[in-house]
A and B are shown apart, each in its own frame.
Chain A
């Protein structure tokens, strides 16, 4: 890997990490990692789960100490990354996926947490001045909101931007930038998966704000699993694999296939398994379905067919899966699986349906339970009504763990200790074990690394080949275009259009979503 920051005549890097290693007892998480963040640069940091990405972020955030021998320079000055002074800390801010905002406080109050207010005589909070300050800050990053609005009432992207502004606001109090002269952005902002829960349209707003940071001379480290976003936003990329830097170059020198190859370590010929030919028999029939945001959706899915559902947040896309599965009450209409009416999750399962929910931790699996317990939960019948025979249970769990290639292949591990991708594979195994006629998935590959994504697509394709009707609700147009036979695009709770064959492309999906 060639360091770029040391070339003469170039600007000083905002942060210059040199030969940083980190080992945990018995293992090396990062080895000899170097990375420079230049002013105005949006620097993508990518890698599979377990590649050392999160360890690196945690070191930057001050959670972990690097091994001795690492050198970190901030604007050319050596710093002790384990013990940054408050001034240094304010130039290196990590924004986590969980934004750390208090939804029941106003924007202004959230920004004041840890900073304090503009005060007047006698320590009285000068609300007016505070409000003006916050309004200006927000406007600068594209949020037109009353600073008194509760953070919980904002849209997802606006919340992200508030978190971003909170990270940035301290930069102006720096020794260099004079107060009141606007923000001094010669600092580094680390964004850890900022778009994981954002709908596409809002991603653009966040990106605009991020670009604004870079334009003003700030450095941004952008961590994301979504490679299309990496290409869209970043201009430089560092790829981690197995704790080592395997690529560090301007993004324009790369294409997506080459980047995936760097991340995974081998060429990926085809990330997406091709959909099999659907059969004629109808498995799922939903008529006039209505819920909180879904207004009127008809959906018929044949066995072996993979149908995608696209749409913005609030378009009904994020609600449809729970409506189909009976997890949310239908306001109107009915859902039938193999002719049997579905009215509750239990009923849905009995009729031959399975649901992979979007929120893996809360809805998908029971975190404290073992992989075995999670996989077998919907169907305990085979192990006996009055006595669960552990032997049979264990054998079945092992069998399914092998089928989905779970890593680690240990049925007695708490499922919460698995990586996101493996948790998702376990949830898939749970439903494939019940041999479902219909499998409904909500954002199946959200927050999942590229390698696990490919195997999830393969599993879905094999389920479809076995005659399962698959309904996949996703905000990833790329994925829908590749995996599905046809895609329904929802707008304002209705099916706006249906794409299939030659018209089924990612661009077309995005276009239909937005129009």
Chain B
């Protein structure tokens, strides 16, 4: 995987360069609005944190070469559910959250059953299960927002320091744990192996099915958690999940072209941050409300295309590099 690529080469940390360029542009374009903590704080608190939580969760199944399109459904269901248990049944927020997370795990287990048990292509299986899960959320909510108690809102909005809200903290904790597990434990190594060479991994004793199941469960659990955070932000809503799907995929794939050259946690977090910052900058710079409304979709859509395109180009670049390396070696052998 490591082929003579400098750590700081533009190909390796292009989003950081992109961010720096964007930073300078907005500095010139909208100096007062851009050079203000309020702007960046709101990027972290509102635009980025929940998206990034979903995206890092999605990295896990993507690593094992499994798609999970049901995350949008799981977010919707858990946001509705955690609100509904509290308002309709007057549950305390802790058991409500616990049950919601368990339900999310069940969603993950259903996905695992479809993908690993019945062997439906993960793309199709989770597309379908996601739709079923959304319909559950719709039914439960009756198509309206389910309000949440103010005390519950604290879990999302309570401030840590400098006005940064708790959910940024959740993101950091979740990302750190996932990074640790994926990069530094045998479980992570087995997941990588499962994704990069399923049959070879199986023949080397990796219980590949187990890791696909695990990855789908982890992803659903984290999506469920993101749903809780999103409910605490505003209210339980069956439509709250859909807007997360595209950014999560865009960030995970863009992240996969950064730092390590494969799906990774910090690349994904950085991608969400940079894309969200750029969108926020443009939204403040552009007056036209019609354009402002489409910026999010436009940006993350383009990012996904660029990311996947970039990884294809990277692949070819590496093949060429590998060829050159081999040629160099032959030369050494000759001399």
* A contact residues vs B (CB 8 Å cutoff): 24-29, 50, 52, 242-243, 325, 327, 345-346, 348-350, 355, 357, 362-370, 373, 377-378, 380-381, 383, 385-388, 407-408, 412-414, 416-417, 419, 430
Interface positions, chain B 313-335, Cβ under 8 Å from A, are 318, 322, 324-334
Given A369-B192, A370-B1, A417-B326, A385:B186 Cβ within 8 A: yes
Do A345 and B203 touch across chains, with their CB atoms under 8 A apart?
A: yes
CA distance A447 to B328 in the complex (A): 22
Closest to A370 in B: B1
CA distance A26 to B329 in the complex (A): 10
Do B200 and A50 touch across chains, with their CB atoms under 8 A apart?
A: no
Interface positions, chain B 198-240, Cβ under 8 Å from A, are 199-207
Answer yes or no: B197 CB below 8 A from chain A CBs.
yes
Do B328 and A380 touch across chains, with their CB atoms under 8 A apart?
A: no
CA distance A417 to B322 in the complex (A): 6
CA distance A26 to B334 in the complex (A): 12
Neighbour of B197 across the interface among A327, A365, A430, CB < 8 A: A365
Across chains A and B, which 9 residue pairs bring their CB atoms closest together, nearest first?
A27-B331, A366-B197, A24-B327, A349-B205, A417-B322, A380-B186, A377-B204, A242-B334, A378-B205
- Pick 11 A–B contacts, CB within 8 A, sort by A: A24-B327, A27-B331, A50-B329, A50-B330, A345-B205, A373-B193, A388-B185, A388-B186, A408-B329, A414-B3, A430-B204
Do A373 and B202 touch across chains, with their CB atoms under 8 A apart?
A: no
Neighbour of A386 across the interface among B185, B189, B201, B329, CB < 8 A: B185
Answer yes or no: B196 CB below 8 A from chain A CBs.
yes
CA distance A363 to B193 in the complex (A): 12
* B contact residues vs A (CB 8 Å cutoff): 1-3, 184-186, 189, 192-193, 196-197, 199-207, 262, 318, 322, 324-334
CA distance A370 to B186 in the complex (A): 15
Neighbour of A377 across the interface among B206, B262, B329, B331, CB < 8 A: B206
Q: Give the chain B neighbours of A377 by CB distance below 8 A.
A: 189, 193, 201, 204-206
Closest to A25 in B: B324
Do B334 and A345 touch across chains, with their CB atoms under 8 A apart?
A: no
Q: How far is the CB of B173 from chain A (nearest CB, A)?
A: 18
Do B196 and A414 touch across chains, with their CB atoms under 8 A apart?
A: no
Q: Give the chain A neighbours of B1 by CB distance below 8 A.
A: 368-370, 414
Q: How far is the CB of A50 from chain B (nearest CB, A)?
A: 5
Q: Give the chain A neighbours of B318 by CB distance below 8 A.
A: 414
Do B193 and A366 touch across chains, with their CB atoms under 8 A apart?
A: yes
Do B197 and A367 touch across chains, with their CB atoms under 8 A apart?
A: yes
Q: Give the chain B neighbours of A365 by CB distance below 8 A.
A: 197, 200
CA distance A327 to B258 in the complex (A): 36
CA distance A12 to B189 in the complex (A): 60
Do B331 and A26 touch across chains, with their CB atoms under 8 A apart?
A: yes
CA distance A242 to B329 in the complex (A): 11
Do A50 and B333 touch across chains, with their CB atoms under 8 A apart?
A: yes
Given A28-B331, A377-B193, A345:B202 Cβ within 8 A: yes
CA distance A29 to B335 in the complex (A): 12
Neighbour of B207 across the interface among A28, A346, A412, CB < 8 A: A346
Do B197 and A387 touch across chains, with their CB atoms under 8 A apart?
A: no
Closest to B207 in A: A346
Q: Give the chain B neighbours of A350 by CB distance below 8 A.
A: 205
CA distance A368 to B322 in the complex (A): 11
Q: Give the chain A neighbours of B326 by CB distance below 8 A.
A: 50, 417, 419
CA distance A417 to B321 in the complex (A): 10
Q: How far is the CB of A423 from chain B (nearest CB, A)?
A: 11
Closest to A243 in B: B334
In this complex, the member of B206, B326, B330 whose beta carbon has the largest number of chain A beta carbons within 10 angstroms is B330
* Given A367-B197, A407-B333, A414-B318; 15 other pairs, CB 8 A cutoff: A24-B324, A24-B328, A25-B327, A27-B332, A327-B202, A349-B204, A355-B203, A362-B200, A364-B200, A369-B192, A369-B193, A377-B201, A377-B206, A388-B185, A416-B322
Do B325 and A417 touch across chains, with their CB atoms under 8 A apart?
A: yes
CA distance A26 to B332 in the complex (A): 10
CA distance A364 to B328 in the complex (A): 26
Q: Give the chain B neighbours of A242 by CB distance below 8 A.
A: 330, 333-334
Q: How far is the CB of A32 from chain B (nearest CB, A)?
A: 13
CA distance A416 to B321 in the complex (A): 12
Do B203 and A380 touch across chains, with their CB atoms under 8 A apart?
A: no
Do B330 and A363 touch across chains, with their CB atoms under 8 A apart?
A: no
Q: Give the chain A neighbours of B325 by CB distance below 8 A.
A: 413, 417
CA distance A360 to B25 in the complex (A): 51
CA distance A370 to B322 in the complex (A): 13
CA distance A414 to B262 in the complex (A): 13
CA distance A373 to B190 in the complex (A): 10
Do A388 and B206 touch across chains, with their CB atoms under 8 A apart?
A: no
CA distance A119 to B88 in the complex (A): 74
Given A26-B327, A243-B334, A346:B186 Cβ within 8 A: no
Do B328 and A26 touch across chains, with their CB atoms under 8 A apart?
A: yes
Q: Give the chain B neighbours of A24 by CB distance below 8 A.
A: 324, 327-328, 331
Q: Give the chain B neighbours of A346 by CB distance below 8 A.
A: 205-207
Closest to B205 in A: A349
Closest to B206 in A: A377
CA distance A349 to B204 in the complex (A): 8
CA distance A421 to B260 in the complex (A): 28
Do B189 and A388 touch across chains, with their CB atoms under 8 A apart?
A: yes
Neighbour of B196 across the interface among A26, A368, A407, A430, CB < 8 A: A368
Q: Give the chain A neighbours of B201 by CB distance below 8 A.
A: 366, 377
Q: How far is the CB of A513 from chain B (nearest CB, A)?
A: 27
CA distance A419 to B205 in the complex (A): 24
Neighbour of B189 across the interface among A29, A367, A368, A380, CB < 8 A: A380
CA distance A355 to B197 in the complex (A): 16
Q: Give the chain B neighbours of A388 by CB distance below 8 A.
A: 184-186, 189
Q: How far is the CB of A428 from chain B (nearest CB, A)?
A: 13
Q: Give the chain A neighbours of B324 by CB distance below 8 A.
A: 24-25
Do B333 and A412 touch across chains, with their CB atoms under 8 A apart?
A: no
Given A24-B324, A378-B205, A362:B330 Cβ within 8 A: no
Q: How far is the CB of A374 from chain B (nearest CB, A)?
A: 8
Do A27 and B2 touch across chains, with their CB atoms under 8 A apart?
A: no
